[in-house]
Structure 1
Amino acid sequence: MKLFFKPGTQLLLLCCLIFTVFPVKAQSHNNPNIILIYTDDLGYGDISIYGGDIPTPHIDELGENGLKFSNAYATAATCTPSRYSMLTGEYAWRKKGTGVAPGDATSLILPGRTTLPGVLQQAGYKTAVIGKWHLGLGKEAPINWNEEIKPGPLEIGFDYAYLLPATGDRVPTVFLENHRVVNLDPEDPITVSYRKNLNNNPTGNNNPEQLKMMYSHGHDQSITNGISRIGYMNGGEKARWKDEDIADVLVNKSEAFIEENKEHPFFLYLATHDIHVPRVPHKRFAGVTGKGPRGDVIVQLDYTVGAIQKKLRELNLEENTIIIFTSDNGPVLDDGYVDGAAERLGEHNPFGNFRGGKYSAFEAGTRVPLLVQWKGRITAGSESTALMSQVDFLRSFAALTNQKVPKNKAIDSQDHWQALIGKTAQGRKSLVQEAIRNVLSYVEGDYKYIAPNPGPAMVPWDVNIETGFSDKPQLYNLKNDPGETNNLASEMPKKVEEMKTALTQIENQK
């Protein structure tokens, strides 16, 4: 039988066949997935691509396939302010109460605030935070851990949250999914106090025989999983985590989120517990490095990164996903537990060539690894000396997704999207660092200015780290003296005054 078509219908049929047999490719400007792996207390020299002595092949692969930054900074030398700044685009020292938060702190970022997840949510992304939060929860103290707890991440731009409410060394030692504690038995309600013991429960101080890891300083209160913490907790026995399983739990939740959202753009903020104290690796990793638990949890962290990479490959998402790997602040060895971190370092140097560490105004406090992979878009194996700050993630990703952020919002964030993907070597002109006690430093070009502060020379709680404090101004040439050993302030008073004035102007910005 012959088929006859009216004039013009042959062309219409041909077009239909073309679009049926040959599917149209996704538009090139479609927004990529974004995975931000935000590690805890990882030093500049802790991973092998930055000179570390512990093998980290999966983390290294991000740099080998993408871009490695040598001049990147967290905004603060401790966790809460760094996370606050990164999510809000505003230096944490502008807001009172953004130092290291207690485990029962109320929400530091309130609904209505411009945030990184909120910007991406407006751009059509599905957004999730999985892991350490440490930015407070709820509206009023004391928090009732047995009911819905909000506001929290879901009220500031995240669609899904699976959290360690504070951090591993603070109570409550339970996971929170969205607004509720996971696996909570209503017959065994949770009570938390940071002032007094509850029901005369065992503590590290009173019952050291119950500990499988001894505290060294400060972490001698309620016991969970044979480890004493900061703060007191009663109840919630079935909900309490097992430290050895935390990394696997976070990986499983991350993989499930990626799988569930594989058909449309997603933003995953994976805030690992590793390598914060208490360092308790799963048995698969315990003892593998010969450098004690701290070395072993670095390998466990590398496994986490590898698991995320594997899931992306399984779902054919790797080329349409940006992976950012960085840390919230610099390294610390003895941060409250006797785990041999200092004694078993060997040739491994977490601090790189820098002075100080976590808590400090010196470079090792805030100079952190930053690796960015976007296969097919970022030149593999490239390196950048651009001056970068995590506070700029907000406006940089707003630029990627064509979102407009008013000038009076996220006031410290700048758009450095082109530098973040290696299209330019020009990053920031300057940035501000925050140490403990709100001591600020200012970096511009090759120079760094540390404002005078009469505080102690060493961090007061036995971590063996210099604060960087002095009652006199400090000026260092970071290019010639990355170890900050030669204070040039007396030789260059004009430069000191210029940088002091610039810092003051930033402080007064509104």
Structure 2
Amino acid sequence: MNRFPFFYLVGLSLLLGCTSQKEATHDVIKPNIILIYLDDLGYGDLSSYGATELQTPHIDRLVHGGVKFINGYASSATCTPSRYAILTGRYPWRKNAKILSGTAPLIIDTAQMTLPKMLKKGGYATGLVGKWHLGLGDGSVDWNEQITPGPNEVGFDDAYYMAATQDRVPTVYIDNGYVANLDPNNPITVSYKQPLADVPTAVSHPEKLTMKPLIGHQNTIVNGVPRIGYMKGGATARWKDVDMADHFLAKSQAFIQAHKTEPFFLYYAMQQPHVPRIPHPRFAGKSKLGPRGDVILEADWCIGELMKTLEEEDLLENTLLIFSSDNGPVLNDGYDDQAVELLGDHTPTGGLRGGKYSLFDAGARVPLATYWKGKIKPTVSEALVCQMDLLASLARLVGTEVATSDSQDLLSALLGQTHTGRKALVIEATTRTAYREGDWIMIPPYGGRKLLTDVNIEIGNDTTFQLYNLKEDVAQQHNLAETEPERLKQMLDAFVEIRGEDYLDYQPIQW
């Protein structure tokens, strides 16, 4: 199906042929847009980004068939802040966004411009499938009634999602503000403070466990897996972990098929490879790297099936796909699933330093690629881009005005027409911030531990400034702060101009 009239195709050729962003300002086209967002996927977890122990052919098709960014960043090294930034186009530290519990209130102001709101304004049907983790309601949610405000109130026409993460309660799907398949005779109660009576936990009923907890996951057991928080009731609504990937895939395919005759935006927020890693039996053992490797292969297959749906509906050439991850990798993150023991020669960080939670580059530097069959030429781009830039960039693509200072219009870079990206970026990790400019990255001095021993990740803390040239030292082994004082001062001044003088007034997470 080709719904583009002739004048749109002419505009498209002009857009893709231009060499500067300003030249394309008035050439408006409206492809379908699908944002595929993985969870805790590292820079080195894909064969298209150098992995040799895992083969991810379907994701590689996107990466090698479009623009592969080697300097692509999430805004943050943890999930909630990155998701806030990608949907609002705003630095998460301005909101003091942190990793949320399953009962936290919505942190996006319903009056705020968002990516789905902007696209709705441009005539798009908008859909969310998968992980939300941006809060719901006002902090006093009744899970047995309509849950509002939530995704629907910040721009999504259709939203089918889990409230937070699969290791947190409530372990139910929410369909446009209502818990799916809920039996009113078995209502849900959720608590993150006090235990609930007659609820099996890892402490009270270890015999019910099929997965052993390591860190902080000692509470309600669901499907043999202990979670964070306490939940009672909702028996008919509780998800089955092994079916989650298939379930979200089917919902995404249904959304595409329901809106194939109009421009649509789908935010496909996948749960892999976040813990607990429970692959469908079709993928269990397939990677030889344990459950973490298995669920990455599962995610790759899901993306292949999504692409197949686009092809079957004759939509692939009318669809811009954007692929990325919310932050870098972590191995042991709460459960004993042998992620470390079975790692072998695989390097999830791809040679970068740090990982999830870290200000070092493996925390927020992630795989990022754009694919548009027949419209984007395959290329590898060194442009510095951030997921936060999607708001301003896609607004120009579809001809919608947005007022934003943090999100930058990098449409030409996203389409592969230039390798020039943003000049600088403030990166966040657990409320601490650092500054990248060109090939340089500067980390201010932060107190506290240097290593999160539970997950064995260096988080970037030091008592002195750190300055690295990523072009020459991608592993960040040589601190040049003392030998490059002028560079350090210039970067610190530029950082403070954006971040403010209070950049050290952070609230460290209590681990």
Instruction: Give me the TM-score of the superposition, normalised by structure 1.
Output: 0.92
Is the contact between residue 68 and residue 372 of structure 1 (CA under 8 Å) also seen in structure 2?
A: yes
2:134 maps to a residue whose letter is L
Counterpart-to-counterpart distance in 1, 2:443 and 2:306: 39
Residue 184 (structure 1) aligned with residue 182 (structure 2): yes
Unaligned runs of 5+ residues in structure 2 are 12-28, 502-511
Kindly provide the amino acid, as one letter, of the partner of residue 367 in structure 2.
P
CA–CA separation in structure 1 for the residues paired with 2:178 and 2:39: 24
Letter in 2 for 1:301: A
State the alpha-carbon separation in 2 of the partners of residues 493 and 67 from structure 1: 36
SS in 2 for 1:130: strand
Give the match's secondary structure for 2:111.
Answer: coil
Q: Of 27, 30, 36, which residue of structure 1 is paired with 2:8? A: 27
Alignment partner for residue 346 of structure 1, among 330, 337, 344?
A: 344
Structure 2 counterparts to residues 256-271 of structure 1, below 5 A: 256-271=254-269
Match of 1:207 among 205, 227, 240: 205
Structure 2 Cα separation of the partners of residues 275 and 293 of structure 1: 9
Structure 2 partner of 1:73: 73
Aligned-pair distance for 1:27?
3.1
The one-letter code sitting in structure 1 at the alignment partner of 2:180 is V
State the alpha-carbon separation in 2 of the partners of residues 344 and 394 from structure 1: 39
Whether 2:476 is the aligned partner of 1:484: answer yes
TM-score, structure 2 normalization: 0.92
1:133-155 deviation digits (Å, cap 9, x = unpaired): 0000012x221100001111111
What does residue 491 of structure 2 align with?
Answer: 499
Equivalence map 1:36-115=2 (5 Å): 36-52=35-51, 53-96=53-96, 98-115=97-114
Matches within 5 A, 1:276-287: 276-287=274-285
1:26 Cα deviation after fit: 7.6
Aligned to 2:173: 175
CA RMSD of aligned residues (A): 1.2
| 2:410 alignment partner, one of 416, 440, 453 | 416
Distance 1:92 1:64 in 2: 31
Give the distance between the partners of 1:48 and 1:145, measured in 2 at CA.
Answer: 41
Are 1:455 and 2:467 matched, yes or no?
no
Give the 3-state SS of the residue equivalent to 1:441 in structure 2.
strand
Correspondence for 2:456 among 456, 464, 474: 464
> How far apart, in 2, do the equivalents of 1:25 and 1:478 lie?
45
Residues in 2 aligned to 1:172 and 1:74: alpha-carbon distance in whole angstroms = 27
Aligned to 2:391: 394
Structure 1 residue aligned with 2:436: 443
What is the rounded CA distance, in whole Å, between the counterparts of 1:34 and 1:403 in structure 2? 15
Residue of structure 1 aligned with 2:325, choices 322, 327, 343 = 327
Partner of 1:11 in structure 2? none
For residues 218-253 of structure 1, the C-alpha deviation after alignment (integer angstroms, 9 at most, x for no partner) is 111001110000000011011000100000010000
| Structure 1: distance between partners of 2:464 and 2:205 | 45
Query: 2:192, 2:496 → 1: CA distance?
Result: 36
Please state whether the residue corresponding to 1:365 is helix, strand or coil.
coil
Percent identity over paired residues = 52
Counterpart-to-counterpart distance in 2, 1:74 and 1:177? 27
User: How does 1:202-351 map onto structure 2 within 5 Å?
Assistant: 202-351=200-349
Residue of structure 2 in register with 1:5 after alignment? none
CA contact (8 A) 1:110 1:155 kept: no
| 1:209 maps to amino acid | E
Partner secondary structure for residue 451 of structure 2: coil
What is the letter of the counterpart of residue 199 of structure 2? N
Deviation of residue 25 (structure 1)?
Answer: 5.2
Residue ranges of structure 1 left out of the alignment (5+ in a row): 1-22
Counterpart for residue 17 of structure 2: none
Q: Deviations over 1:52-74 (max 9, x none)?
A: 12110100011222111111000
Residues 201 and 24 from structure 1, CA distance in 2 versus in 1: closer, same or farther, beyond 3 angstroms?
closer
CA drift at 1:411? 2.4
Distance (whole Å) between structure 1 residues aligned to residue 8 and residue 414 of structure 2: 22
Partners of 2:37 and 2:61 lie apart in 1 by 16
- Taking the aligned partners of 2:116 and 2:451, their CA distance within structure 1 comes to 37
Q: Deviation of residue 355 (structure 1)?
A: 0.5
**379, 382, 387: which one aligns with 1:385:** 382
Contact 1:110 1:151 in 2 (8 A): no
**CA separation in 2, counterparts of 1:208 and 1:113?**
45
How much has 1:494 moved relative to structure 2? 1.7
Q: Distance in 2 between matches of 1:26 and 1:346?
A: 54
Letter in 2 for 1:39: L
Deviation for aligned residue 1:205 = 2.1
Q: 2:423 aligns with which of 421, 429, 434?
A: 429
CA displacement at 1:76 relative to structure 2 = 0.4
CA distance in 2, matches of 1:125, 1:475: 44
Q: One-letter code of the match for 2:411?
A: W
Aligned length: 479
